[in-house]
Amino acid sequence: MEAYLVAIAIVGAIYVLLTLGLTVQYGLTGLVNFGHVGFFAIGAYASALLSLEGVPLVASFACAALAAALAAWPIGLVALRLRDDYFAVVTLGFSETVRLVITSERWLTNGVQGVPGIPRSFAGLGVGMAGSLATLAAIALVCLAVALALRRIARSPFGRVIEAIRDNEDALRALGKDPARFKMQVLALGAALAGVAGAFYAHYITYVSPDQFIPLVTFYVWMAMIMGGVGRVSGAVVGALLLMLFLEGTRFLRDVAPDLISAVDMASVRIGAVGLALILFTLYRPQGLVGDYTRR
């Protein structure tokens, strides 16, 4: 039971990190990133492949963040000067393309078979509880540090500018500031966070394959962010917890009553529930379950 709780806590914390990344991008700046999972995948594969080549985990984590941020750069270059809706389409296409590249470039990624045997984080502590707890502590610390940093950013001159971007981009340009420059930093920052989340994921699960990085993951994160309250750092944590409750709840339901519903039907139910949640929250509670929509 403890092992189970630690396991979902780790996955939950990974979702917290992903949600924090999206919160900077959409919640604070208004960037509609529909390709979050692409940056998550790049981070996971970058760290996994580097560590398998013998690179120490600290360095491979840093490379994961860097690789994801670098991948964001051309996307931002093309799409940030266009309207929001184009950005959404481009990022969605980006994440699908990342998955295609991972699937196709077998020499690097082993294709659909995936990459097994990725070094476990804190392997020195053994495969039991100690290693898992250390992993949990590490990712919880990272989440805390990121949350504090984001709060500082939100209340800084930089935060003022990105909120101004969300309110009225043209007015900002009229004052001599280039929204694209700020958006690029925000995009790269959110991507780097997703990259680090990917590294944690890869070294916790110890196996990565393309089917772990489907667009549905992006929208799990969107659901978490919207449920928790868009634009609030604390909302990211609340939302990710609610998301874990949903994911584990649906799995639990299937475990206790396997005759009730088949595995494929459960997959459909999950997708449907995510879809319905996105629709209903957008329609009736855009401020989230607990959020205050008017102020950050």
Partner 1 sequence: MSLVVRDVTKSFGGFRALDAVSFAMDGAAMLGIIGPNGAGKSTLFSVVSGFMAADRGTVALDGRPLDRLGAAARARAGMVRTFQVPREFHHLTVRENLMAAAPGQSGEGLLGLFLRPGRVRAEEEAIGAEADATIAFLRLTAVAGTPAGRLSGGQKKLLELGRALMAKPRLILLDEPFAGVNPVLVAELGERIAALNARGIGFLVIEHDLAALSRLVPRVLVMDRGRVLAEGPPGEVLRDPAVREAYLGGAAA
Partner 2 sequence: MFGALLVAGIVHGLIIGLAAMAVTLVFGIARFPNAAAGDTMTAGAYAGFLAHRATGSLALAGGAAVVAAGAVSLLGYLLVFRPLARRPVASLLVAAIGVAFLIRAVLGLMFGHQQQVFQVPLAWPIEVMGLRIPPMDITLAAVAGVSLAAAFGVLYLTSIGRQMRAVADDPDLARVSGIRPVRVMVALWLLAGAAAGIAGLMLGVKTVVSPEMGWEGLLSAFAAAILGGIGSPVGAVLAGLLLGVAQEVSTPYVGFTYKIALAFAVMLAVLLLRPRGLLGRVEEVR
Which does residue 89 bind out of partner 1, partner 2, none, counting CB within 5 to 8 angstroms by kind? partner 2
- Which of 166, 181, 291 minimizes the C-alpha distance to 237? 291
**Residue 166 touching partner 1 (CB under 8 A):** yes
Binding partner 1 (rule: CB under 8 A), the pick from 123, 164, 247, 266 is: 164
Which does residue 157 bind out of partner 2, partner 1, none, counting CB within 5 to 8 angstroms by kind? partner 1
**Residue 184 touching partner 1 (CB under 8 A):** no
Which does residue 265 bind out of partner 1, partner 2, none, counting CB within 5 to 8 angstroms by kind? partner 2
Cβ atoms of residues 221 and 232 within 8 Å: no
Residue 195 one-letter amino acid:
G
- Pick between residue 113 and residue 156 the one whose CB is nearest to partner 1: 156
**Residue 152 touching partner 1 (CB under 8 A):** yes
**Residue 26 touching partner 1 (CB under 8 A):** no
Interface stretch with partner 1, choices 100-108, 150-158, 233-241, 280-288 (CB under 8 A): 150-158
**Residue 172 touching partner 1 (CB under 8 A):** yes
- Pick between residue 166 and residue 285 the one whose CB is nearest to partner 1: 166
The footprint of partner 1 on this chain (CB under 8 A) covers a number of residues equal to 29
Cβ atoms of residues 102 and 113 within 8 Å: no
DSSP string, 124-186: GG-SSHHHHHHHHHHHHHHHHHHHHHHHHHHTSHHHHHHHHHHH-HHHHHHTT--HHHHHHHH
Q: Which residues bind partner 2 (CB under 8 A)?
A: 26, 30, 32, 34, 78-79, 81-86, 88-90, 92-94, 96-97, 100-101, 103-104, 169-170, 215-216, 219, 222, 226, 264-265, 267-279, 282-283, 286
Cβ atoms of residues 218 and 37 within 8 Å: yes
Tokens of 68: 């994801």
Tokens of 27: 């919640």
**Residue 96 touching partner 1 (CB under 8 A):** no
Binding partner 1 (rule: CB under 8 A), the pick from 56, 74, 127, 178 is: 178
**Residue 158 touching partner 1 (CB under 8 A):** yes
Tokens of 273: 């529930």
Residues 6+ apart with CB under 8 A from 240: 12, 13, 15, 16, 18, 19, 224, 228
- Which of 243, 143, 256, 253 minimizes the C-alpha distance to 200? 143
- Least distance in angstroms from the C-beta of 193 to partner 1: 13
